[in-house]
Structure 1
């Protein structure tokens, strides 16, 4: 139901009602100059002390909060009054791991549903080939290996559908590519091509590439594929940011930024197109035999792109891959039945510990926040060790850092992380039963390790700071309410008999704090956002349902009616 709005003189108060109430007579502006710009009343507003009914906002700051009666003066003199009609108000949500450019660009690609079976993938590819010019690249995804029979997923499968068009399809984890023979030819990959450092070229019996490329091996094809233009990247960013607003996400962290993207993000940040507070993580990678150290020039130029709502002060370091059939996540204990193409049975640690220690200490000294990609427990330990080294070299009190994903981790490393000021991030959408987790990953790590799959409970109990990052568009939706529901139930959205890592479930209140106050802390914004109380900036969302009181199995369906950032309404569902 749309809100009714009364356009009035600045000296009058406009009442906007959530449920269609009438408009009040105009009131005079308060003489003391403390007139609120906006007052919301008649709602259920989540505060650190419990539930309030009314909240007054001036210049983007919350100046009063309490019962309707306690804010009677503010209500009487406010320029704009909103009657919530019993709706709920929560602090804006924080997503600590998104890929907005990828998410937006995928809307333009040859995409098929997550978990799509081979016949659905084939049908979609035929459509894309029919719409393409001969020789034009077909780029899309996202596939999961669990749907294919052993040996079925090869370049030859793609060749039968697209013999004349190079094809490049991402997997769900965005750590592998599936390509056809034409794409391999353009990339110059043959049976004599060696595996790159940190990558795997899956091969046929005679050594020829079979069409599956893992980790750094994907670069051979991606570098010859067409690149999106700046205009396309900006269009993607705007679409993704607006999508996040529709879910009440008021701050987010871009998990990996490379050279061509930084200027686009800075140009749009804080404009009418991107309203959220954004932190950007620039990718750094060590030198290899074939390439120099990556990212230092961009990191050195970072402050040229800083804006009031964009902080390019984070460095992203990939420590490993993923614990899927590729077996590239670095594990403390070996994988089950490690394949002949695996670099070794413990996975891949992409940065030698000595070099990692040195670079982390250097970035820490410069005051940069470090975000590690660490899916395996071996990679998590490497990140903890590196930050402990930085604290020893530079002293305590340096910038915060955090480990991203943390799919597996030793419980003892959580306590160590807390000691050195290293936060732990978990990724939603994989902590409940899905083919990638329940089949692909379980198959290579075994049932015992899956009992501590995405160990959020252990992390919270250790006292370490815990945050959540969707990893969108690796996942199909950025919906945080689906994540909150399944953090608690460890079931499929809507409920299921099947669970995954049930012993790691948490409470609904803990889940909300992870997405609000904890996220604000790791963003360096906790003094400004994360709770609704006097003195904080007015970042919040409004929903008809109360996510703390509705049935757990329904939380993923929650709809955001409005999203506000610093006292400005930036999303209104009724206007769609």
Structure 2
């Protein structure tokens, strides 16, 4: 007897997670895929209660999996002072003022402001809006804080405060702090901010999940589990959401390696990670990854480079020194942890590759380590990823000309960035993530840039960044579906009978539109665990990116 389907999606084109197939339809029953084939084959499973979805020639694909996202941070920000919608200085300041009027909290927090709009925001701008309580707002990249005078006062930051290691307290011509704090300097204020409660973080996660569903994202990898830059550890909120069933997407997370961890501290840290991994696994939350920030970002001249910045103010510094990073990779690898490494500079890449190579020599094949961002890689190092078994965790939306970084690193280094083709041809596995809320979470915008090597919107739109480094549409789709799923969820992430029914239906067929129009695609419907969780008209297109 033929099993009845809960859902039959017909009339589409099926991308199975690797290739475009001749199939047109998919059936689901419970949380699993029941059948894949042509419409007639799938409709044999139609029962009296089966829901029929007509894809009308559009793409049916596995749900997107975001391999590098900060869903907890993003959701909490969306429920507080969310500045990401602002497209001008005036709109940004108006949102701050509105949030201040709507909140009675001791601190006004949030973020998402753009360096394109505020190259150097000041405390005086915030003082004019909120003079009587502390304000601390993260930039979209979450490496910088913009604070008012009251926040500086509470943190004890004055003209006499020493500059912290791997950070910068910006001062004006008279030597007074301006309210603009980079990297570890932001933590001087961050540690004074009352952390969000577990309940507030869970509410943020639920909000983030619904937003990600609207983009076709059915699973993700939380890139920081631990206290970071004044933000609370979100692990307990994930565990609560998994336990009560409110977090329904497939999720995993990376245990945070504090910046400045020393070689001597690594054994105790890895032992603690082993304990936490087992505890989280018992609750159904996979945390078999360790996340370390190896360097900073080029915009703040904190990414670690092989050659000096154009300003000749040095070459940036490692957040973990070479001995500590090597010890971390060796000991985490031996304990079965995959390393998830934030790296923006070519020196950081080389040091990390050397550490992974040492682990491979010592232990043989092991966990799938991955490096995120990939903005600057020396050609000699780009071909090492494949042989070392390192996955390229791409934030593909950034792989386009970035004129704002040219004064720091120069035209040549900017134009040689994000060498996706070299990585792929060298045998590296590919995964994709957004780094949301650092940049927009829309997979179609990222796929557009991966294929075209240019932005469809914002400054520099249309100008390609080394078109020879482009990926094919199939490669980009595979990276954002099966590539990410296998890396961070441990499952193939492909449409096949018996697989979990996580699917996304696009608003069109990307294989039948010009590459220059890929960014126009939206998600028409999203299925998570066999249930339709999103159906809506296309959402407005984000109009900017931030990097790092």
Q: TM-score, normalised by structure 2?
A: 0.87
Could you tell me how far 1:161 is from its partner in structure 2? 3.7
Q: Indicate the residue corresponding to 2:60 in structure 1.
A: 89
Q: Indicate the residue corresponding to 1:209 in structure 2.
A: 177
Task: Kindly indicate whether the alpha-carbon contact (under 8 Å) linking 1:38 and 1:78 is maintained by their aligned counterparts in 2.
Answer: no
Task: Kindly indicate whether the alpha-carbon contact (under 8 Å) linking 1:286 and 1:292 is maintained by their aligned counterparts in 2.
Answer: no
Match of 2:443 among 473, 480, 496: 480
- Segment of structure 1 superposing worse, 272-281 or 137-146: 137-146
Q: Indicate the residue corresponding to 1:138 in structure 2.
A: 108
Matched, 1:432 2:400: yes
Matched, 1:513 2:478: yes
Matched, 1:239 2:210: no
Could you tell me how far 1:347 is from its partner in structure 2? 0.8
Q: Indicate the residue corresponding to 1:351 in structure 2.
A: 320
Q: Indicate the residue corresponding to 2:230 in structure 1.
A: none
Matched, 1:219 2:187: yes
Task: Kindly indicate whether the alpha-carbon contact (under 8 Å) linking 1:114 and 1:144 is maintained by their aligned counterparts in 2.
Answer: no
Q: Indicate the residue corresponding to 2:291 in structure 1.
A: 316
The verdict on how the C-alpha distance between 1:99 and 1:519 changes in structure 2, with shifts beyond 3 A counting, is same
Match of 2:302 among 325, 328, 340: 328
The verdict on how the C-alpha distance between 1:70 and 1:172 changes in structure 2, with shifts beyond 3 A counting, is closer
Matched, 1:447 2:411: yes
Matches within 5 A, 1:154-173: 154-173=122-141
1:300 and 1:308 mapped to 2: Cα distance? 13
1:122 and 1:55 mapped to 2: Cα distance? 48
2:42 and 2:134 mapped to 1: Cα distance? 64
2:25 and 2:529 mapped to 1: Cα distance? 17
2:172 and 2:265 mapped to 1: Cα distance? 31
Q: State the secondary structure of the residue aligned to 1:82.
A: strand
Q: State the secondary structure of the residue aligned to 1:548.
A: helix
Match of 1:413 among 374, 378, 381: 381
1:410-438 Cα distance to aligned partner (Å, 9 max, x none): 222222121111111121432235xxx32
2:192 and 2:457 mapped to 1: Cα distance? 43
Could you tell me how far 1:309 is from its partner in structure 2? 5.7
- Segment of structure 1 superposing worse, 410-419 or 301-310: 301-310
The verdict on how the C-alpha distance between 1:113 and 1:540 changes in structure 2, with shifts beyond 3 A counting, is closer
Q: Indicate the residue corresponding to 2:250 in structure 1.
A: 277
Q: State the secondary structure of the residue aligned to 1:238.
A: helix
Q: Indicate the residue corresponding to 2:543 in structure 1.
A: none
Q: Indicate the residue corresponding to 1:498 in structure 2.
A: 463
Q: Indicate the residue corresponding to 1:99 in structure 2.
A: 70
1:83-115 Cα distance to aligned partner (Å, 9 max, x none): 524443111111101111111111233333467
Matched, 1:43 2:12: yes
Matched, 1:362 2:331: yes
The verdict on how the C-alpha distance between 1:65 and 1:140 changes in structure 2, with shifts beyond 3 A counting, is closer
Matched, 1:122 2:97: no
Matched, 1:80 2:53: no
1:307 and 1:542 mapped to 2: Cα distance? 33
Q: Indicate the residue corresponding to 1:22 in structure 2.
A: none
1:446 and 1:372 mapped to 2: Cα distance? 24
Q: Indicate the residue corresponding to 2:362 in structure 1.
A: 393
Could you tell me how far 1:117 is from its partner in structure 2? 4.1
1:7-39 Cα distance to aligned partner (Å, 9 max, x none): xxxxxxxxxxxxxxxxxxxxxxx2xx7555544
Aligned residues: 525
The verdict on how the C-alpha distance between 1:546 and 1:308 changes in structure 2, with shifts beyond 3 A counting, is farther
Q: State the secondary structure of the residue aligned to 1:356.
A: helix
- Segment of structure 1 superposing worse, 91-100 or 514-523: 514-523
Match of 1:461 among 405, 425, 430: 425
Q: State the secondary structure of the residue aligned to 1:52.
A: coil
Q: Indicate the residue corresponding to 2:503 in structure 1.
A: 540
2:427 and 2:88 mapped to 1: Cα distance? 42
| Structure 1 alignment gaps of length 5 or more | 1-29, 340-344
2:189 and 2:464 mapped to 1: Cα distance? 38
1:39 and 1:123 mapped to 2: Cα distance? 47
Task: Kindly indicate whether the alpha-carbon contact (under 8 Å) linking 1:168 and 1:183 is maintained by their aligned counterparts in 2.
Answer: yes
Task: Kindly indicate whether the alpha-carbon contact (under 8 Å) linking 2:144 and 2:186 is maintained by their aligned counterparts in 1.
Answer: yes
2:38 and 2:150 mapped to 1: Cα distance? 67
RMSD between superposed Cα atoms in Å: 2.9
Task: Kindly indicate whether the alpha-carbon contact (under 8 Å) linking 1:201 and 1:209 is maintained by their aligned counterparts in 2.
Answer: yes
Matches within 5 A, 1:180-195: 180-195=148-163
1:236-259 Cα distance to aligned partner (Å, 9 max, x none): 000101111121112211011116
Task: Kindly indicate whether the alpha-carbon contact (under 8 Å) linking 2:370 and 2:392 is maintained by their aligned counterparts in 1.
Answer: yes
Could you tell me how far 1:366 is from its partner in structure 2? 1.1
Q: Indicate the residue corresponding to 1:4 in structure 2.
A: none
Q: Indicate the residue corresponding to 1:228 in structure 2.
A: 196
Q: Please tell me whether Structure 1 or Structure 2 has the larger radius of gyration of its CA atoms.
A: 1
Q: TM-score, normalised by structure 1?
A: 0.83
The verdict on how the C-alpha distance between 1:524 and 1:36 changes in structure 2, with shifts beyond 3 A counting, is same
